Amino acid sequence: MSEKLNIGVILGSTREGRVSPQVGEWVKGIADKRGDANYEIVDIADYKLPFLGEGDAPGIAAWNEKLASLDGFVFIVQEYNHSITGALKNAIDLAREAWNNKAAGIVSYGSTGGARAAEHLRGILGELMVADVRTHPTLSLFTDFENFSVFKPQNIHDENINLMLDQVTTWSRALKTIRQ
């Protein structure tokens, strides 16, 4: 088998007090046990991205370099007003070629599992030629979190996470062949 894939687990929220780092670390923990790829947390907040068109901060180049180094993505998506966060949309808009011909999975959360946000993200990913996989683990603010702030996932989700990762790695490997 050729060299290991690099898969980024992208945290979609940046607000103070966000729960996305807990969810991202949990996904990475399951992923790391597989040994089939290099998984890393990619935190939008680290890049201090300006809004598109409002300056040329160094974070934009660093963000694009990070995305370019990845073969696939797992988006940690939280539902804000029935869609993805403004921070994630802006970060997506700040790159183009670095997204193209790669695969992605979505893990979402919200009062209805973040399903509406995830479906919006699928439409956006289509425009960027990111192949989003079918299996979509959904986490409930009511049953997978304590007080909506401490992440306590039910065991039933592990299998779905692995299924999603099976699909992301398979498609990431396939798409890598058309980028070379």
Ligand X SMILES: Cc1cc2nc3c(=O)[nH]c(=O)nc-3n(C[C@H](O)[C@H](O)[C@H](O)COP(=O)(O)O)c2cc1C
The contact set with ligand X (CB under 6 A) reads: 13, 15, 18-20, 78-82, 110-112, 141
How many Cβ atoms sit within 10 Å of the Cβ of residue 118? 24
Say if CB 90 and CB 13 are below 8 A apart.
no
Residues in the chain: 180
Which CB sits closer to ligand X, 100 or 142? 142
Centroid of chain to Cα 55: 25
The least distance separating ligand X from the CB of residue 75, rounded to whole angstroms, comes to 12
How many Cβ atoms sit within 10 Å of the Cβ of residue 37? 19
The least distance separating ligand X from the CB of residue 96, rounded to whole angstroms, comes to 26
Which CB sits closer to ligand X, 73 or 80? 80
Centroid of chain to Cα 106: 6
How many Cβ atoms sit within 10 Å of the Cβ of residue 129? 13
Task: Read off the tokens for 18.
Answer: 């966000």
Which CB sits closer to ligand X, 34 or 82? 82
The least distance separating ligand X from the CB of residue 120, rounded to whole angstroms, comes to 11
Centroid of chain to Cα 94: 15
The least distance separating ligand X from the CB of residue 150, rounded to whole angstroms, comes to 11
Which CB sits closer to ligand X, 8 or 110? 110
Q: Which residues contact 134 (CB under 8 A, 6 or more apart)?
A: 167
The least distance separating ligand X from the CB of residue 136, rounded to whole angstroms, comes to 15
Which CB sits closer to ligand X, 43 or 71? 43
